């Protein structure tokens, strides 16, 4: 599968972005409203910090993925543009309330909350993350909440799950062979454990993402899908790796839209209830649609 090419989408060498990766320039009043609100509330988004290519579309539609626990990560993954340091900034005790107020002002019916890794904190930030989710739930009872978490395990995960998120996402990021692009404290097995524990303890949908274009083979992608399904992962996102700056690892190849569709077909055949697959797909991109597809497939509602 990894060598499939089509006349419509010929192979494109790394270093020159193909036409299907062009994104819109930010415009419109909704964009300015989002920017002003985030600034007023002192909030961070992964849209900004990770240089997400979907920022224009999502902010134009009034959606964003909120990033709590500060904007500095204590891990240093080779593909990520988020600022790193051995210690993050002091926790902002006002953040849960400000986040809940922002979501109410935006009238969001589906909110995605993520965070940086905070290995410098005793509970790695799980308690504060949970307080953010609980605050959103209290002020916005009709809003569905998806969390994209670090590799919380054991008591850390218990604390987070007690805040009752509707979907729990944690990214394995890439196939098993290429896990070296992640910080050494992360691993494919640690990530599988987080997903497995969440599904077993809370019975909620779990979700993960694979970034492609790093040199993985089709067989390796298929094997990763199998391991994820063995650990009861329900939702899979497949997207193209894009080098944020010259400081991050380079792109090996640009995966064609045709191959993304074939990977999506394979994932559905392997039992994933919801699949989001495409060059610009990211974990939180079209998150609400992904949850709706899962609900439709399983007959659930919330």
**Percent with pLDDT over 70 in the chain:** 75
Most distant CA pair in the chain: distance in Å?
Answer: 55
**pLDDT at residue number 149:** 97
In the predicted model, what is the mean pLDDT of residues 275-283?
87
Three-state DSSP at 169 gives strand
Q: How confident is the model at residue 49 (pLDDT cuts 50, 70, 90)?
A: very low
Q: Which two tokens stand for residue 243?
A: 């080098």
Angle formed by the axes of helices 95-106 and 126-139, nearest 10°: 40
Q: Which two tokens stand for residue 226?
A: 């199998």
Predicted TM-score (pTM) of the model is 0.84
Structural domain 24-298, CATH architecture: Alpha-Beta Barrel (3.20)
Instruction: Return the number of other C-beta atoms located less than 10 Å from residue 130's C-beta.
Output: 23
pLDDT top residue among 93 and 62:
93
Cα 253 to Cα 7: distance, rounded to the nearest angstrom? 17
274-284: b (≥16 Cβ within 10 Å) or e = bbbbbbbbbbb
In the predicted model, what is the mean pLDDT of residues 240-250?
91
Alpha helices in 181-256 (DSSP H): 188-202, 218-230
Of 100-104, 163-167, 191-195, 198-202, the least confident? 100-104
């Amino acid at each position: 599968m990894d060598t499939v090419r089509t006349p419509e989408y010929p192979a494109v060498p790394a270093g020159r972005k193909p036409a299907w990766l062009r994104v819109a320039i930010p415009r419109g009043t909704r964009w300015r409203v989002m920017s002003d609100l985030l600034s007023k509330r002192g909030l961070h988004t992964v849209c900004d910090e990770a240089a997400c290519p979907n920022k224009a579309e999502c902010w134009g539609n009034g959606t964003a993925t909120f990033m709590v626990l500060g904007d500095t990560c204590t891990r240093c993954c080779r593909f990520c543009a988020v600022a790193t340091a051995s210690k993050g900034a002091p926790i902002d005790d006002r953040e849960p309330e400000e986040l809940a107020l922002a979501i109410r002002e935006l009238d969001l019916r589906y909110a995605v909350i993520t965070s940086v890794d905070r290995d410098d904190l005793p509970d790695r930030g799980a308690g504060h993350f949970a307080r953010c989710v609980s605050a959103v739930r209290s002020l916005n009872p009709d809003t569905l909440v998806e969390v994209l978490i670090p590799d919380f395990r054991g008591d850390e995960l218990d604390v987070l799950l007690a805040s009752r998120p509707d979907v729990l996402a944690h990214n394995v990021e890439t196939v098993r062979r290429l896990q070296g692009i992640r910080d050494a404290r992360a691993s494919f097995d640690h990530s599988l454990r987080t997903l497995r524990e969440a599904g077993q303890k809370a019975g909620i949908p779990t979700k993960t993402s694979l970034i492609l274009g790093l040199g993985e083979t089709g067989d390796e992608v298929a094997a990763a899908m199998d391991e994820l399904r063995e650990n009861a992962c329900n939702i899979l996102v497949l997207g193209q790796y894009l080098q944020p700056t010259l400081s991050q690892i380079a792109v090996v190849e640009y995966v064609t839209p045709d191959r993304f569709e074939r990977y999506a077909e394979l994932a559905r055949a392997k039992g994933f209830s919801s699949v989001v697959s495409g060059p610009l797909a990211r974990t939180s991109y079209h998150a609400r649609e992904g949850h709706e597809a899962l609900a439709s497939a399983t007959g659930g509602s919330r």
